[in-house]
Chains A and B, each alone.
Chain A
Amino acid sequence: DAGVIQSPRHEVTEMGQEVTLRCKPISGHNSLFWYRQTMMRGLELLIYFNNNVPIDDSGMPEDRFSAKMPNASFSTLKIQPSEPRDSAVYFCASSLKGQGTEAFFGQGTRLTVV
């Protein structure tokens, strides 16, 4: 398996624009997580899905953020409208459902909002 695949790797956008980040989890994994990494706040869990259903979105910072998982092999994280403070590295991770199972991370999308 190619691992968790995220696209794009880098995104530069202007404030106010819509940004969509994409993730393909590892085949067979039924949990998917979106994390955000910043210098100030470290790694924060934004939202996660089990079997394509959003379970906990309490980490989503604002209504400007939304995430979907239309099927087991694809998820998106959308920011509309984007703001400079959204600049961060966004990671997608997947795992088999269950506590104690490790999450496998993608290489991340570095988002810069100018």
Chain B
Amino acid sequence: AQSVTQLGSHVSVSEGALVLLRCNYSSSVPPYLFWYVQYPNQGLQLLLKYTTGATLVKGINGFEAEFKKSETSFHLTKPSAHMSDAAEYFCAVWDTGRRALTFGSGTRLQVQP
């Protein structure tokens, strides 16, 4: 079974600073990886996904993530944080056994003015 681990349940950055949210995966087959964002009292919205091909994936709202097989990582970054980025972020992997997405525990991003 595939799984993901998100390091850091809370991350706080200043407005304009780099955002780095960490995700490591465990998979015996090439993984399909996803990042979702959840705003308060909302459902999850897809930010970006990696399936095959280019390892640097660009998503919405200026976010991007790089698939690094050697590090089993899929960290989410954004060069400059905006107040509107404050939300909870979930890394997910397609579980080929269960044939559904398995989510990490989430990272809550705070953006300080």
Contacts and interface: CB of A to CB of B under 8 A. Distances in A.
Given A42-B106, A99-B32, A102-B34, A56 B43 contact: no
Contacts of B99: 48, 50, 55-56, 99
A80 B46 CA distance: 33
Main secondary structure on A side of the interface with B: strand
Q: How large is the interface on A (under 10, 10 to 19, 20 to 34, 35 or more residues)?
A: 20 to 34
A48 B53 CA distance: 29
Interface of B: 32, 34, 36, 41-46, 49, 51, 90, 94, 96, 98-106
A103 B44 CA distance: 9
A45 B98 contact: yes
B100 A56 contact: yes
A102 B46 contact: yes
